Amino acid sequence: MNDHDNIREHVLKLMKQKENIENEIRELSSLLSKNGVGMNDPLVDEEGFPVNSIDIYQVRHARHRIICLQNDHKNIMAQIENGLHDYYSIFSDNDVHESPMNTSSCHTDVIHVVPFARVTLVSEESPSKDAGIQANDEIVEFGSVNSTNFKDITDIALVVQHSEGNQISVKLKRGDHFRTVVLVPKKWSGKGLLGCNIVAL
């Protein structure tokens, strides 16, 4: 097995770990929802007594586990990005077309062409507006997320959550053309870190 294959196998294993982490986070988040709380809601009433409708032990365990998993997810995402960079850095321009890796390259060649989400709204003076994203743009890649590993909008939310203040490469399909923009999730005068609304296709 050559270096290309070794790196490819490593990245694919990381992607599988990422998928497992995201699945567990969804399950734990569902458990919190069943208890009627989120990550920061109080577990006691105004007088300091435990709320009867909440399984406090279960909720505290789930919250702690989610925090640990979110840290793991952030580390995995960084490893995947580094692995992909290493993978494509050893390809020549011609080799990229024959690459077996199902993700984007560091070159301008479009490898993924199937959109998985659409931007329905972009707010003025938002990070998305600054990046050049427009309403009706279709998303082909959002960081490491693409049509081959996208499950739901949670995937994008996790990338955004762990990339605040950092650059995310976003590949868009606008009409018949593709373009890649650099998006930096950050706090701004509006809600959220992006300032746009994204829906799954």
Residue 107 lies in a domain: no
18 and 73 share one domain: yes
- Domain containing 142: what range? 117-200
Say if 38 falls within a structural domain: yes
Domain identity same for 91 and 142:
no
Q: At 25, which helix (H) or strand (E)? A: helix 3-34
My answer on whether 75 and 15 are in the same domain is yes
Map 128-171 to HEC letters. HHHHCCCCCCEEEEECCEECCCCCCHHHHHHHHHCCCCCCEEEE
List all residues 6 or more positions away from 96 whose beta carbon is below 8 Å from its beta carbon. 88, 105, 107, 109, 111
pLDDT at 104: 40
Domain with residue 154: its CATH number is: 2.30.42.10
**Confidence at residue 75, expressed as pLDDT on a 0 to 100 scale:** 86
pLDDT per residue, tens digit, the chain (201 aa), is 567 778 888 888 888 888 888 888 888 888 888 888 888 888 888 888 888 888 888 999 999 998 898 888 888 888 887 887 777 666 544 444 444 444 443 333 436 788 999 999 999 999 999 999 999 999 999 988 888 888 888 889 888 988 888 888 899 999 888 888 999 999 999 999 999 999 998
Q: Per DSSP, what are the bridge partners of residue 117?
A: 139, 200
**Domain assignment of residue 109, yes or no:** no
DSSP tally for the chain: helices H, then strands E: 5, 6
Q: What is the pLDDT of residue 99?
A: 43
How many domains does one find in the chain? 2
Residue 56 belongs to some domain of the structure = yes
Q: Are residues 13 and 67 in the same domain?
A: yes
- Sign of dihedral through CA atoms 97, 170, 26, 63? positive
Taken in order 157, 163, 169, 174, is the CA torsion positive or negative? positive
Task: List the Cα angle 16/168/83 in 5-degree steps.
Answer: 40
